[in-house]
Amino acid sequence: MKRKYIIITGGVLSGLGKGIAIASIGKLLSHDYKVVPIKCDGYLNVDPGTMNPIEHGEVFVLDDGGEVDMDFGHYERFLNVDCKVDWNLTMGKVFNEIREKERKGDFLGKTVQMVPHVSNFIRNRFIEIGEDSKADIELIEIGGTIGDMENELYIDAVRSLARKVGKENVLFVHLTYVPIPFGVDEQKSKPTQQSITLLRKRGIEPEIIIARCSEMLNGKIKNKIASTSNLNNEEIITGIDVDDVYKIPLVFENQGLSQLLARKLNIPIKADLTRWNELIKNKEEAKKEINIAIAGKYTSLEDSYASIIEALHHCSAHFLVKINVKWIDTSEEDIDLTDVSGVIVPGGFGSRGTEGKIKIIQKCRENKIPFLGICYGLQMAVIEFARNVCNKSSANTTEVDENCEYPVIDILPEQKKIINKGGTMRLGAYPAIIKKDSLVYSLYGLDQISERHRHRYEVNPKYHDLLEENGLILSGLSPDGSLVEFIELENHPYFVATQAHPELKSKLEKPAPLFKGLIKAAIKYSEQSELPYQPPILEELRIDEDFVRIDESLEEDEGFGEAENSFEEFENGFRESHL
């Protein structure tokens, strides 16, 4: 089969859910084909790694260490693929490469122009990605809204892609918006017609239109859109507002989208959404409810913790329980955990709100409230333990207090030399060795696992012994034993933290083990909170699933890439800076 390309552009306004739309199209195809998603962002940042999560949402991290747009979270969750950093194009990356080529002399004698040089470069990149990944179908999402200046080169690239690979192998899908203005109470097609005109001006004729609307499109409006865009009514699909984005593949399929795609691309497609459908029903039919608190700094914007929320959704379907998220702003004084059955302290940066997080963790530890610490959450849990159990009241992370007396969390010596901010953290998938008799082991069911990371600081190896002597279980370490990856406590229903971000790999069909552990414990806690505390039986929490297989190539810890030092040097670095 010749490789097919499905391109999605957006019209009228931003935020219509192009990422979900393309992920849902991919879901329909991924049963039969290898589907590779590509996202094109117009900004000049090289990646979103240095962008404020409040403005841009979560930075999604891939196995290969790429920091990419949060749409990759949807792609991976819907398509079950491990994406690659090169699949996220940004104008920052494109211009960097073009300028390097120009300096090397690749364009010698020529004037390097936006069109054709830059747009052809982008088009060729689409083709190369298809070849390298051996994709059957490439899904290309063009960021922004048609007419945005910053995305024009991508639009020109997909226009010329159709000429290069053959029109029959390229399918243009346009996502637009049909408003029902208050007082008019009628579905309106004009914005859609106008955005189609904008596409046509750029040489693109959409073949499928997905119209976001609060109601199913009526026949009249379908006729209108279809006739002005030279399409048939069945080529106009409603992207109806839903309360759960996982329903979108079903919404599309109910309107015959997979067979429409099959006809357009001239390939057989048999979308199988049986399991997906079942899981969504589970969520809907959940009778029991629990409250889970997320205690973080960016709680004003849920998008900053998108993957955590998704991981909770996955558990909700798995355990048939409705999970209400209670946001706790840790920079505020009053922290009330009375109505929660579990607490997540998520990743974070900087000092604001850290004392609040430490206080919450102390409450969880002392009152046996199920707790999951993620990245900064692990670091805060270690500080809390050092202060209140090991009696090192001035323990801290050097991220907050550079000269603290007990730097139980400290920056790696190698990281200290780095001044650039972009892409310089410990990023991507790293393996961990799990202690066989630990709770973490019983959750993963494996003694070697791999999870994704995004951080600069680590539990200071100088304090491993002190923490262990006082009862903190270091349940997972990097293969050379130098870095703490998981911690847990005995005599607590669920007190687990990880330096990694397990939420990034959670899927509807396979929720992340540590989240499953938390929710299982939280359900029990909500039922038993009246009763005296009973220590959990490990077997009870055990979740028998082969979740994260270690990648053979990662068996040897590659640590921090070329800059990696041996453990000895690592320790010396700590000594130099702290003794």
**Interface pick for ligand GLN out of 11, 347, 373, 428 (rule CB under 6 A):** 347
**Whole-number Å distance between alpha carbons of 556 and 449:** 13
Catalytic option among 83, 375, 390, 404: 375
Distance CA 137, CA 542 (A): 38
Task: Choose, by CB under 6 A, the member of 297, 455, 464, 505 that binds ligand GLN.
Answer: 455
> Smallest gap, in angstroms, from Cβ of residue 456 to ligand GLN?
4
- Shorter beta-carbon distance to ligand GLN: residue 55 or 490: 55
By CB under 6 A, the residues from 131 to 160 that bind ligand GLN are none
Total of chain residues touching ligand GLN, rule CB under 6 A: 10
Backbone angles phi, psi at 237, to 5 degrees: -110, 140
Q: What residues does 449 pair with on adjacent strands?
A: 432
Q: Please, which residue, 239 or 476, has the CB nearer to ligand GLN? A: 476
- 390 catalytic? Reply is no
Shortest spacing between CB 555 and ligand GLN, in angstroms: 25
Q: Fill in the DSSP letter of residue 115.
A: I
**Cα separations in angstroms, 358 against 113, 330, 487:** 54, 9, 16
457 contributes a contact to ligand GLN by CB under 6 A: yes
Q: Around Cβ 281, how many Cβ atoms within 10 Å? A: 12
Cα gap 383→409, rounded to integer Å: 8
Q: How far is the CB of 455 from ligand GLN (least distance, A)?
A: 3
Task: Give the span between the Cα atoms of 408 and 375, in whole angstroms.
Answer: 14
Q: Considering only the stretches 11-19, 455-463, 534-542, 559-567, report the one whose residues sit in contact with ligand GLN under the rule CB under 6 A.
A: 455-463
Rounded least distance, CB 350 to ligand GLN, Å: 7
Closest approach, Cβ 558 to ligand GLN, in A, equals 19
- For the bound state, the minimum distance from the C-beta of residue 347 to ligand GLN, rounded and expressed in Å, comes to 3
Amino acid identity of 33? Y
Indicate the residue among 127 and 301 with the shorter CB distance to ligand GLN: 301
Q: Following DSSP, what letter does each residue of 307-364 receive, concatenated? A: HHHHHHHHHHHHHTEEEEEEEEETTSS----TT-SEEEE----SSTTHHHHHHHHHHH
Query: Does 376 interact with ligand GLN (rule: CB under 6 A)?
Result: yes
Residue with Cβ nearer ligand GLN (178 or 375): 375
Which tokens hold the place of 524? 């029990």
Stretch that binds ligand GLN, among 278-286, 343-351, 356-364, 529-537 (CB under 6 A): 343-351
Please identify, using beta-carbon distances, which residue of 188 and 456 lies nearer to ligand GLN: 456
384-423: contacts with ligand GLN (CB under 6 A): 399
Q: What are the b/e assignments for 179-204, b being 16+ CB within 10 Å?
A: beeeeeeebbbebbeebbebbeeeeb
Residue matched to tokens 């992207």: 239
Q: Are 138 and 130 in contact (CB under 8 A)?
A: yes
Report helix angle 152-165 to 119-133, nearest 10: 60
Q: Which is nearer to ligand GLN, 454 or 516 (CB)?
A: 454
Residue type, 11: G
What does residue 312 show for φ and ψ, rounded to 5 degrees? -70, -40
117 binding ligand GLN? (CB under 6 A): no
CB of 224 to ligand GLN, least distance (A): 49
Cβ closer to ligand GLN: 365 or 455? 455
77 is a contact residue toward ligand GLN (CB under 6 A): no
* 375 touches ligand GLN (CB under 6 A): yes
Is residue 212 a contact point for ligand GLN (CB under 6 A)? no
Q: 379 near 457, Cβ under 8 Å? A: yes
Angstrom distance (rounded) from CA 262 to CA 260: 5
- Least Å distance, CB 58 to ligand GLN, is 11
Active-site residue flag, 375: yes
Residue pair 321/342 in contact (Cβ under 8 Å)? The answer is no
169 or 398: CB nearest ligand GLN: 398
Output the residue with the shortest Cβ distance to ligand GLN.
347
Please report whether residue 525 would count as binding ligand GLN according to CB under 6 A: no
Query: Which are the contacts of 576, defined by CB distance < 8 A and separation ≥ 6?
Result: 413
Q: Give yes or no for residue 348 binding ligand GLN (CB under 6 A).
A: yes
**Distance between CA 552 and CA 94 in Å, rounded?**
32
Does an H or E element contain 564, and which?
none
Which residue's CB is nearer to ligand GLN, number 140 or number 306? Answer: 306
Q: What are 351's two structure tokens?
A: 């000092």
Interface with ligand GLN (CB under 6 A), residue from 349, 359, 424, 447: 349
Q: How far is the CB of 345 from ligand GLN (least distance, A)?
A: 9
Is 503 considered catalytic here? yes
Positions annotated as catalytic residues are: 375, 501, 503
Interacting residue ranges for ligand GLN, rule: CB under 6 A = 347-349, 375-376, 399, 454-457
